[in-house]
Amino acid sequence: MERSFVAAVARMPEVAALVMTDPIGALLWSRGELDGEASGAVHAVALRSLAHCGETLGLGTLHRVTVTGAHYGCVIAIDDREVLAIYVDPGQPLGAIEHQLDQALGR
């Protein structure tokens, strides 16, 4: 993912935290109050499991996952080199971030 895109997303007011790792979960960059190393490892494991489920179900290659909870909404995207998780304050729409990710990744 282009660093300029990641930096621009990190500056968006609705973004509470951002974590970027390699596909196995090693932390590359983070911003915000989350533990980037722990979160990054969880992202990588969860995405591997979800990707396997999707392939088994015939959905094809996993592009992104959106998860919402009481404290944050989170969009996690994967490409060949990196996993990017964007945490958004609750109540903020995630659609715009999903759209920007898809455009940045050429999807």
**pLDDT tens digits, residue range 37-91?**
999 999 999 998 999 999 999 999 888 899 999 999 999 988 878 899 999 988 8
C-alpha 94/C-alpha 11 separation (Å) is 15
Q: What are phi and psi of 59, to 5 degrees?
A: -80, -20
- 11 vs 2, residue with greater confidence: 11
* Domains in the chain, CATH or no CATH each: 3-104 (3.30.450.30)
Cα–Cα separations (whole angstroms), residue 48 to 12, 41, 62, 90: 28, 11, 9, 26
Are 69 and 15 in contact by the 8 Å Cβ rule? The answer is no
Q: What is the pTM of this model?
A: 0.87
